[in-house]
Structure 1
Amino acid sequence: MEVRDRVLVVEDDSSITNLMKTVLRANNYEVLTASTGAEAISLITSHCPDLVILDLGLPDMDGVSVLQQVRTWSAMPILVVSARTHERDKVEALDLGADDYIAKPFGTPELLARIRAALRHYRLRTGAGSSPQGDFFQTGALRIDYARHRVYVDGRDAGLTQNEFRIVAMLGRHAGRVITYDSIIREIWGPGAQRDNKILRVNMANIRRKIEKNPAQPEYICTETGVGYLMADGDSL
């Protein structure tokens, strides 16, 4: 099973949402949608998308406010797609942390190209998939392929999202050692991230559901209560 990047489309115009959803799914992206800023923030927190497409003209708050809030704890790629074409709107969004700014109307090839570029730049910037230990790490039936950004269990692709992969990759690089919650949060979501373990717990629950035979009794990633997580020791290949 191929890992699909998860994209959250934040847009209150249903016709544009449906267009982007159709295009993204046709290009093998997993798609979530939100029509308000509050719903977007909730989905970002609970579902950890790999990329956000954000409209600025939302009914409950300005999209800039969503951008500002997310940037206090996450470095995930955010593409602003807006009918606002004034230069100051673009500059403001980029200064606040948007990775790109696309003016409406837009062509779907351009949108897809900018999504690919944003994801590629994010992974290069954060070093996702790099490992000082080599290209692979294996413990039991679990195998981390750092070059391909994949995790396999019994030869089957576990289907992790990019953030889930980065967590597993980090733990694999330090197998046999307890990595604190704060260290993982800083590594994955940036030094400005809130020290709230909720988003990490959500990711870990999803990871265990995908890689463990019994998530309630994990074999690969153990919890040191109140401290952090530990990847079972294994052999680097």
Structure 2
Amino acid sequence: MHNKILIVEDDIAISEMVKNYLIKDGFLVKTAFDGEEAILKYLNYDFDLIILDLMMPKLDGIETMKIIREKSSVPILIMSAKDSDVDKAIGLGLGADDYIAKPFSMIEFSARIKAAIRRSTKYSNNEKKEDPMVMKVGNLTIDVGNFLVSKNNQAIALTSKEFDILKLFIQNPNRVFTKVQIYSFIWKDEYFGDENVINVHIRRLREKIEEDPSNPQYIKTLWGIGYKLEVI
């Protein structure tokens, strides 16, 4: 079965280059050249992954991603010439699964696409097979089987990666995880050395589960080492 990909990129030359490479790599590919066209195609087709540029006419990549994330957890890979930590943080914080800056190697780009689809597929299959299991720590409750998290009995909306990170910590209380280990367990892929990916997900998770994210009660930072879920 061929995976279906939507490329959202207003630069026709880049769009065609990526499209032709991915078609040769065995993917089914559709393209959109602005955010509005991307939303229309997303609503009419079932995609396995979306490649999204940030700077686009009519509706930029951030707004496009917000709309898609309200309806779906489809993997989104940001492809942009903007490579600052702020841009990465915004994109990843809003639900992107990965970020690659232009110019890039098509070999690495294709590898990241395949890894994102593989993780998404494996996650979906595991969720179907996994027995319902409820874990609690402090005022948090995580229902693994139903992909639900609540704080003081109020539901919390987490992205799939935030959920996986929280589950990893709760299943291993007081164990210290390095950033390399977290990437390996959650992304199940080779660590590319971009610490910002993990930092953003940890920060966003803290903002949702902690009473005071700047002074976290649950996810503690061990400077120069990594993170752990502290349970006393």
Which residue in 2 is equivalent to 1:7?
A: 5
Sort the Cα spacing of 1:47 and 1:128 in 2 relative to 1 into closer, same or farther, 3 A: farther
Cα distance, 1:62 vs structure 2: 1.5
Cα distance, 1:61 vs structure 2: 1.8
2-structure distance, mates of 1:51, 1:128: 19
Which residue in 2 is equivalent to 1:92?
A: 90
SS in 1 for 2:30: strand
Which residue in 1 is equivalent to 2:73?
A: 75
Residue identity matched to 1:87? D
CA RMSD between the two structures:
2.1
Cα distance, 1:9 vs structure 2: 0.3
SS in 2 for 1:113: helix
Cα distance, 1:37 vs structure 2: 0.3
1-structure distance, mates of 2:11, 2:106: 17
Residue identity matched to 2:123? R
Q: Indicate which of 17, 28, 31 corresponds to 1:30.
A: 28
Which residue in 2 is equivalent to 1:206?
A: none
Which residue in 2 is equivalent to 1:118?
A: 116
Which residue in 2 is equivalent to 1:234?
A: none
2-structure distance, mates of 1:129, 1:6: 22
For this pair of structures, how many residues does the alignment match? 134
Cα distance, 1:126 vs structure 2: 2.2
Is 1:46 the equivalent of 2:40?
no
Cα distance, 1:35 vs structure 2: 0.1
> CA deviation digits over 1:41-97, x for unaligned, max 9?
010110121100000111112200001110001000000000001101001100100
Sort the Cα spacing of 1:113 and 1:13 in 2 relative to 1 into closer, same or farther, 3 A: same
Q: Normalization by structure 1: what TM-score?
A: 0.53
Sort the Cα spacing of 1:7 and 1:131 in 2 relative to 1 into closer, same or farther, 3 A: same
Does 1 or 2 have the higher relative contact order (CA < 8 Å, sep 6+)?
Answer: 1
Cα distance, 1:131 vs structure 2: 4.9
Percent identity (aligned)? 39
Conserved? CA contact 2:83–2:101, under 8 Å: yes
